[in-house]
Amino acid sequence: MHTKALDEAAHTKDPEYKKGVIDELDHGMAYLLEEVAQGPEVLLVVTAEHSTPSSGRMIHSGETVPLLVVGRHVRRDGVTRFCEVECARGALGPLKGPELMHMVLNLMDRGKLQG
C-alpha cells in the first residue's frame, strides 16, 4: 500500500493537520498489526520514501525515515514506537534504500546468494 496523504498534509505546513493525518494512519496501522500481520506468510514492511517537514521552506528533507518490519522470521527488539529516533535504535540498524529489498527477501526466506 502507498499513500500520499501524509506527504500532502506536510506540504500544507500546518503541523496540526499533519498530526491529524498521522493519527488516522495510526488507526489503520493498528488494524494491520492486529489482523493482517498475524498471518504466518505475511511480512509487513512500513516506511516512508522521504521525510517531509511541517514547517520551514523545505518541502522534503534528507533525514532518515523509520522502518517497521513484522513477520515470522523477523528478529524482535525493544522498540515500541514508530518514529525516527526510536527506530534508529532498533535491531535493523541504518539501511540504505538499495539494501531494503535484499532484507525483505531474506526475511521472506527467499534471499539469493550474492557475491
Q: What is the pLDDT along the chain (115 residues), one digit of tens a residue?
A: 778 898 898 889 999 999 999 999 989 888 888 887 788 888 999 988 888 888 888 888 888 899 999 888 888 899 998 888 899 899 988 888 889 999 999 999 888 876 6
| Prediction pTM value | 0.80
**Residue 10 pLDDT:** 87
- For residue 112, being part of any structural domain is answered with no
What are 101's three cell numbers?
A: 529489498
Q: What is residue 96's predicted lDDT score, i.e. its pLDDT? A: 87
Let me know if residue 46 belongs to a domain.
Answer: yes
Q: Identify whether the C-beta of residue 73 lies closer than 8 Å to the C-beta of residue 62.
A: no
Is 113 a domain residue? Answer: no
pLDDT of residue 19: 93
* CATH number of the domain encompassing residue 71: 3.40.720.10
- Give pLDDT, residue 48: 87
The range of the structural domain enclosing residue 41 comes to 5-107
Domains: count for the chain: 1
Q: Could you give the CA distance from residue 89 to residue 100 in angstroms, rounded to a whole number?
A: 17
Q: Does residue 114 lie in a domain region?
A: no
